[in-house]
A and B are shown apart, each in its own frame.
Chain A
């Protein structure tokens, strides 16, 4: 058997922000605009990410994982998000499914999937949204019925990040009594994957529509409890996804800041460098401030996760709401600072602008975030 070191010589393990930054600067930043234009992340990068141990380093050591704490994981995802939101999106959904199997899986499910997910031998996608249901998860129409001791799955999932490439789908479907989570290998008969091309943002995240027609699953396909707690699989998994998107949004702000600082130091208008103009300085200072504030909110949510504190769920909503709206605002200002150059292909800011918009929609849209944060405030204060 060949080792990772042999297949990808020279690639160092990512264990913290510093090593993530080095990996991203070498293997992602120079190519992110090309991925965006090609509409996919090449297999070669996926292999490098495997070699660097990037897919699910938080999994426990006894499953072959790196036992990384979630604060550090957040820093790693921020760095990846700084380089390319599409790549970070692949990591996000893989993280969600890996965590869910580790947290809720039976010993047999864990043994079957967790080591392979940890290594990145199996890549996973998270399938909740449908043509007719997004924010309102209770509106999903995909269903399973029990048959011959197993399950039969029918329905259509849409906007599935990495659906084009993933080997394993975590599919949420209506059962006789509630909503359950089901592990569905891509090669199951009756699974059909249709690529969705030409998205506004995260264009390289290999999004797909996936239909399930009479897909026969064994009894061990159901992940976690059924009944009232089935909703917790969804809540917990989305919480981690939201955390990853929040970190990625911080990465977008940082990338916008770095691009603008470089551009403003070179570009002159009317004999002045952009960086010396007060209105431009104001924009840059807002970017610096929001990057720091968002990073702190994310770190706090991560710290609460590591401590197992229930308040992490709300802290993560707040972090994602703040970071994603700040990312959209600053990516827009980054295009503005670059003028026409910001609208072309020679600078990364147009990509940041398109990607940032997506952050306000996924893992709980801004409207849903506000509703949830307000209801918490109501519970606590009123």
Chain B
């Protein structure tokens, strides 16, 4: 899994919630950050930044819980990056 992918995802989340301290394993849902607007922003960010299309069956809460799981999702959708 690319450390760079994780960093970019963390940067995005931190830019949206600068007051929060978030690391790559932390469950952002448990922290109470995610509403449907932010979920949409996250999906758009991932699709644009990593040039992937997230299919409906990958739009599961577990894929978006942390920077780690999101980076894994990106890797799955773009095998060339692994």
Contacts and interface: CB of A to CB of B under 8 A. Distances in A.
Interface of A: 104, 106, 224-225, 227-229, 231-232, 234-236, 239, 307-313, 372, 379-380, 382
B59 to A, nearest CB: 4
Interface string B1-36: 000000000001001111100000000010000111
A225 B36 CA distance: 13
Contacts of A372: 37
A358 B45 CA distance: 32
A234 B60 contact: no
Interface string B35-53: 1110111111101100000
Given A106-B56, A225-B59, A379 B16 contact: yes
Given A235-B37, A235-B40, A310 B45 contact: yes
B64 to A, nearest CB: 8
A380 B19 CA distance: 9
B39 A228 contact: yes
Contacts of B18: 379-380
Given A229-B39, A235-B37, A239-B40, A310 B48 contact: yes
Instruction: Pick the most buried of A228, A236, A308: most chain B CB atoms within 10 A of its CB.
Output: A228
Contact of A307 (B35, B36, B37, B48): B48
B56 A234 contact: no
B47 A308 contact: yes
Nearest to B61: A228
B40 A232 contact: yes
B56 A310 contact: no
Contacts of A229: 39, 43, 59-61
Nearest to A223: B56
7 contacts: A225-B56, A228-B29, A232-B59, A235-B40, A313-B40, A379-B18, A382-B19
B19 to A, nearest CB: 7
Contact of B44 (A225, A234, A310): A310
A232 B43 contact: yes
A380 B64 CA distance: 21
A16 to B, nearest CB: 26
A310 B17 contact: no
Given A225-B57, A225-B60, A379-B18, 7 more contacts: A227-B59, A229-B59, A231-B39, A232-B39, A236-B40, A312-B44, A380-B18
A79 B60 CA distance: 40
Contacts of A310: 12, 40-42, 44-45, 48
Given A225-B59, A228-B61, A232-B59, A308 B48 contact: yes
Contacts of B59: 224-225, 227, 229, 232
A379 to B, nearest CB: 6
A313 B61 CA distance: 21
A309 B15 CA distance: 14
A379 B45 CA distance: 17
Given A227-B61, A228-B61, A379 B41 contact: no
Contacts of A307: 48
The 6 closest A-B pairs by CB, nearest first: A231-B36, A310-B41, A229-B59, A308-B48, A225-B59, A310-B44
Nearest to B57: A225
Contacts of A106: 56
Contacts of B29: 228
A322 B36 CA distance: 23
Interface in B47-76: 47-48, 56-57, 59-61, 64
Contacts of B34: 228
Contacts of A232: 36, 39-40, 43, 59
A310 B17 CA distance: 15
